[in-house]
Amino acid sequence: MSEKLEQLKERLGEVSDLQHAASVLGWDQQVNMPPMGNEARGQQLATLSKIAQEKFTSDEVGRLIEDLKQELAGADPNSDEAALIHVTARDYDKAKRVPPEFIEEQAIVSSKAFEAWLEARSKSDFSIFQPHLEKVVELVQRYVSFFPPADHPYDTLLDDYEPGMKTADVKAIFDGLRPKQVKLIKSIAKSKQVRDDFLYKKYNEKKLVEFGEKVISQFGYDWNRGRQDKAAHPFETTFSVNDVRITTRYEEDAPLATLFSTMHESGHAMYEQGINPAYERTPLSGGTSLAVHESQSRMWENLVGRSLPFWEHFYPELKKLFPAQLDGVSLKTFYKAINKVEPSLIRVNADEATYNLHIMLRLELEIGMVDGTVAVRDLPEIWNAKMDDYLGIVPPDDARGVLQDIHWSGGSIGYFSTYALGNLISAQVWEKVRKDIKDLDDQIRKGDFSALLGWLRTNIHQHGHKYEPQVLVEKVTGSRIKPEPYLRYLTNKYNEIYGL
Amino acid sequence: MSEKLEQLKERLGEVSDLQHAASVLGWDQQVNMPPMGNEARGQQLATLSKIAQEKFTSDEVGRLIEDLKQELAGADPNSDEAALIHVTARDYDKAKRVPPEFIEEQAIVSSKAFEAWLEARSKSDFSIFQPHLEKVVELVQRYVSFFPPADHPYDTLLDDYEPGMKTADVKAIFDGLRPKQVKLIKSIAKSKQVRDDFLYKKYNEKKLVEFGEKVISQFGYDWNRGRQDKAAHPFETTFSVNDVRITTRYEEDAPLATLFSTMHESGHAMYEQGINPAYERTPLSGGTSLAVHESQSRMWENLVGRSLPFWEHFYPELKKLFPAQLDGVSLKTFYKAINKVEPSLIRVNADEATYNLHIMLRLELEIGMVDGTVAVRDLPEIWNAKMDDYLGIVPPDDARGVLQDIHWSGGSIGYFSTYALGNLISAQVWEKVRKDIKDLDDQIRKGDFSALLGWLRTNIHQHGHKYEPQVLVEKVTGSRIKPEPYLRYLTNKYNEIYGL
């Protein structure tokens, strides 16, 4: 390794250490922190993030990147070293464009917007949130202005989550999907409905959590390099490739959601546990993009965890644990229940068939806010009209409508589409997995996930943040992200369940 | 506040945030971290400590200190502002004297010495540790050489833990104590022994831990600003005045030790919870010194927690929780058992009467190592001879002798005396408390600790790190640290228990 590369890696290592330290503090805040600890913790996190930013955007890092670009000019662009310089240069350029004062201003505006959002949601009064969201949008537009003009201003935002991806690509994908997904939901609505009352009985929390832990152990989540704790919101967080943690919560109203949430987070975590250890403490660690990350969590949650072969293996055990709750419920009935389709108001509770429509609605509004064609004050009205169009239901109040998500209050505009793209990628990759592992269903039926996890490790996980998402997806599946596999998956599944 | 003071506080605040972040990472390492997480965590901690050190010793901090010294030249030296500059200047001067390369070398030597110590202890073979300890001592001597010559080279080390304290002071205090404490132990040994078999029965861990938590809640430990977890070693750690945590362990061989350990750690924690919040994020936060800190933990553990009035209140409840274990054990018998004196080999298991002798032995060896009058290779022999002199027992092997403590392997020389000084201060402060709160015993008998905690808050806790330990002790008790109150306390207590 050249001396300059070593110097750069040392500096990047420090930045990574600071970011991971912040992740530990953030995890502790969600999992352990006593109520009064919040103020000091906020200050500590702000300091860590400020120093990490200062260290990363130092002139020395800039010089090293420039020198190494020249040094590696003739190298294979797919080599780890060339990729490291490419990715680091891209992140550096972005970071340098945003003035520190802007970041501070954004932190203050977001913090106030978050408070206002909490109040607005609890009172179901959009007017409380509106002026704050207007400021958030203004800041987002200012953020975009720091970058060279793109085809669409939303491109700049999207690029932060999905490097290389364009608004036009996402629109094209979703335009191909939306009418067919709406049609599918309508024909399901006309079919005979499935029974799922037994999912909403009381289930013992401890037993359910232990069952979930057994399942993800069998998936291949490595407890020597992770742990699960309780938190108000389920999430995955990474402190190093050897310390990847998840959280769960017990949902009183829908106890089995706990189980699917654990599978979901384990998908994120197994991804992180599978990244090439040589990328540690560099910008090549972490997943490819949010969408690719979500493809892994969704795959384990849905394509595996809501499949019939999976439950052929695990249902007898679940039934033994909860004989009263599942008395007289056959495997088929259970399987149909956990795949029930029902248009609903709240995104996070949506089923597989309707979920993407919640996302498309948000994406359209975001694009409009950013390019100025949608005014913040009109959001509630447009929201409700689109809900009616896509899902055939209208929120009775804004708390269950435009005010339901936290994202905008924190300035996260550009994030939502990654959820839907993750669903698409999961199905697209799944078709390839099934080609490569012919007896996958049989293996799952035996509770054996080793070939599947091995395949994902080799084809996706190990590459970390090295490739852009479209490049990786094309490398793995032979084509860029497209809606057809997901649509095929949904259609096949629901044809069978609903006898369409 | 002057502009420069504001600037200095901002910089000190960043350093404090980094140190507290490191404390969170350290706590997590002991309490939660999965086994494989260690290597990355070590790197993260090293980065945080390096950056904190760099930020603290920056030229800008030096300039601000100098300017503020002049600005505050005429100010009351007991004002918080003057104290802040004084303490910061002292710490800055110390930090600047130690080259960063030395700190790195010390980290490497300690890390190897720690591994060697683990092996040496498990094989009870001092020769494995000896060459490493020789290097540790050499580094400690080099460390001393960075500072201006003192009356004794050990002064420099002691000053890091007990600012302003001299080796001669500590020696004088201990010389006044040792012969009398040895005599006391000998006369106890000749008396009728007390019964304590029931302390070593099986006690349910959960019930015991909950009882401990109830006790410290009653003391005044604030759970809104803290929590207790299980760890391999009990400790207290501070992330802010509003987040002060403790850990405990269940000791299979001596279950009730769990309880006394919880009281001990709560003493440290209540100290930290009681420091003036205005000192947050400055070098005035944290306790006065290790010895004053230990005086608080020892006070709650021993002067409160092993007193008869305390158990008059709590024994009925303990007996209700453990009726089988304590069947036929009267309050008096229980009280005597938890105060049993028995010379033993291991410091951490020593009772109140013998504990200080373990410390004095170590202090004498440390002073000898530092000034060159004791060779590392001779340690085992001298250790055993002194054990025989002071306690009348000789370790059968070095694992239970010179190899029992972790401290020297980490380069912590100068630390041990703070334990014994803490005991002395606790008794000296206690005499003053009893003068000020006439009916203290009655209050304790009722389980009411509010006046006691209030007194400690006002007289000790709130001052944080503002004063030197001798200054604080004199301010509180009217005289500097002295051995008589502790000796009076021991003599009274054991006269009664052993009928001397």
Span A205-245, pLDDT tens digits: 999 999 999 999 999 999 999 999 999 889 999 999 999 99
Of A337, A352, A390, A354, residue with least CA distance to A498: A337
Residues B312/B445, Cβ–Cβ less than 8 Å: yes
Distance CA B157, CA B150 (A): 10
- Which residue has 């939901």 as its token pair? A185
pLDDT at residue B251, as a whole number: 86
- Terminal C-alpha separation, chain B: 60
* Candidates A17, A47, A229; nearest CB to B17: A47
Give the A:B interface size as CB pairs under 8 Å: 115
| Amino acid type, B281 | R
Residue of A nearest to B223 (CA): A34
pTM above 0.90, yes or no: yes
pLDDT at residue A471, as a whole number: 97
Residue of B nearest to A39 (CA): B242
* Candidates A17, A25, A41; nearest CB to B47: A17
pLDDT band at A65 (very low <50, low <70, confident <90, very high): very high
- Give the distance from CA A174 to its chain's centroid: 17
Helix ranges, B146-222 (H): 153-161, 167-189, 205-219
| Amino acid type, B129 | F
Catalytic, out of B162, B236, B251, B265: B265
* Candidates B35, B44, B280; nearest CB to A21: B44
Crossing angle for the helix pair A167-189 and A379-391, to the nearest 10 degrees: 50
Residues B485/B427, Cβ–Cβ less than 8 Å: yes
**A391-403 pLDDT tens trace:** 999 999 999 999 9
Does the pLDDT at position A349 exceed 90?
no
Pairing of strands A228-230, A236-240: unpaired
Of A217, A219, A199, A422, residue with least CA distance to A304: A219
A19 CB within 8 Å of a chain B CB = no
* Candidates B17, B36, B281; nearest CB to A243: B36
Helix ranges, A249-378 (H): 257-273, 290-298, 308-321, 331-337, 352-371
pLDDT band at A252 (very low <50, low <70, confident <90, very high): confident
Helix ranges, B322-449 (H): 331-337, 352-371, 379-391, 417-436, 440-445
- Which residue has 């130092």 as its token pair? A58
B307-326 residues touching A, CB cutoff 8 A? none
Question: What are the pLDDT tens digits along chain B (500 aa)?
Answer: 699 999 999 999 999 999 999 999 999 999 999 989 999 999 999 999 999 999 999 999 999 999 999 999 889 999 999 999 999 999 999 999 999 999 989 989 998 999 999 999 999 999 999 999 999 999 999 999 999 999 999 999 999 999 999 999 999 999 999 999 999 999 999 999 999 999 999 999 999 999 999 999 999 999 999 999 999 889 999 999 999 999 999 988 899 999 999 999 999 999 999 999 999 999 999 999 999 999 999 999 999 999 999 999 999 999 999 999 999 999 999 999 999 999 999 998 899 999 999 999 999 999 999 999 999 999 999 999 999 999 999 999 999 999 999 999 988 999 999 999 999 999 999 999 999 999 999 999 999 999 999 999 999 999 999 999 999 999 999 999 999 999 999 999 999 999 98
Min distance B241 CA to chain A CA atoms (Å): 8
Structure tokens at A171: 């629109």
Min distance A221 CA to chain B CA atoms (Å): 13
| Amino acid type, A289 | S
**A105-138 pLDDT tens trace:** 998 999 899 999 999 999 999 999 999 999 999 9
Structure tokens at A444: 């799952």
Distance CA B193, CA B195 (A): 7
* Candidates B14, B35, B223; nearest CB to A47: B14
* Candidates A18, A28, A227; nearest CB to B34: A227
Structure tokens at A230: 């309780």
Taking an 8 Å cut-off on Cβ atoms, the answer to whether A17 and B43 are in contact is yes
Min distance B240 CA to chain A CA atoms (Å): 6
Of B332, B302, B249, B284, residue with least CA distance to B419: B302
- Terminal C-alpha separation, chain A: 60
Does the pLDDT at position A171 exceed 90?
yes
For the purposes of burial, counting CB atoms within 10 Å of the CB of B175, is it exposed (0-12), middle (13-18) or buried (19 or more)?
Answer: exposed
pLDDT at residue B78, as a whole number: 92
pLDDT at residue A265, as a whole number: 98
pLDDT at residue A251, as a whole number: 86
Residues A261/A249, Cβ–Cβ less than 8 Å: yes
Taking an 8 Å cut-off on Cβ atoms, the answer to whether B35 and A224 are in contact is yes
Taking an 8 Å cut-off on Cβ atoms, the answer to whether A47 and B225 are in contact is no
Residues B237/B26, Cβ–Cβ less than 8 Å: yes
Residues B432/B476, Cβ–Cβ less than 8 Å: yes
Bridge partner list, A228: A246
pLDDT at residue A316, as a whole number: 98
Contacts of A119 (CB under 8 A, 6+ apart): A125, A128
B14 CB within 8 Å of a chain A CB = yes
Does the pLDDT at position A258 exceed 80?
yes
B215 CB within 8 Å of a chain A CB = no
Q: What is the largest CA-CA distance in chain A?
A: 70
Does the pLDDT at position A372 exceed 90?
yes
Does the pLDDT at position A318 exceed 90?
yes
**A8-18 burial by CB neighbour count: b if 16+ within 10 A, else e?**
bbebbbbbbbb
Higher-pLDDT residue of B233 and A269 is A269
Distance CA B129, CA B134 (A): 9
Min distance A14 CA to chain B CA atoms (Å): 6
Taking an 8 Å cut-off on Cβ atoms, the answer to whether B24 and A20 are in contact is no
Site from B12, B31, B33, B47 to mutate, A interface, most A CB atoms within 10 angstroms: B47
> DSSP 3-state assignment of A246?
strand
Question: In which element (H, E) is residue B71 found?
Answer: helix B59-71
> DSSP 3-state assignment of B162?
coil
Contacts of B113 (CB under 8 A, 6+ apart): B129, B132, B133, B135, B136, B408, B409, B410, B411
Averaged over A345-372, what is the pLDDT? 94
**In the 8-state DSSP scheme, what is residue A344?**
-
For the purposes of burial, counting CB atoms within 10 Å of the CB of B108, is it exposed (0-12), middle (13-18) or buried (19 or more)?
Answer: exposed
Pairing of strands B236-240, B228-230: unpaired
Helix ranges, A149-202 (H): 153-161, 167-189
Partners of residue B245 in chain A, C-beta under 8 Å: 34
- Which residue has 């939502």 as its token pair? A416
> DSSP 3-state assignment of A150?
coil
Partners of residue A226 in chain B, C-beta under 8 Å: 34
- Which residue has 């953030």 as its token pair? A26
Distance CA B41, CA B34 (A): 11
ipTM: 0.94
> DSSP 3-state assignment of B24?
helix
pLDDT at residue A35, as a whole number: 87
A21 CB within 8 Å of a chain B CB = yes
Q: For A262, what's the count of Cα atoms within 13 Å in the CB-facing half-sphere?
A: 27
**A401-438 pLDDT tens trace:** 999 999 999 889 999 999 999 999 999 999 999 999 99
Bridge partner list, B470: none
Distance CA B409, CA B133 (A): 7
A225 CB within 8 Å of a chain B CB = yes
Taking an 8 Å cut-off on Cβ atoms, the answer to whether B40 and A47 are in contact is no
Distance CA A281, CA A285 (A): 7
B366 is an active site residue? no
For the purposes of burial, counting CB atoms within 10 Å of the CB of B155, is it exposed (0-12), middle (13-18) or buried (19 or more)?
Answer: buried
> DSSP 3-state assignment of B230?
strand
Distance CA B489, CA B427 (A): 7
pLDDT band at A308 (very low <50, low <70, confident <90, very high): very high
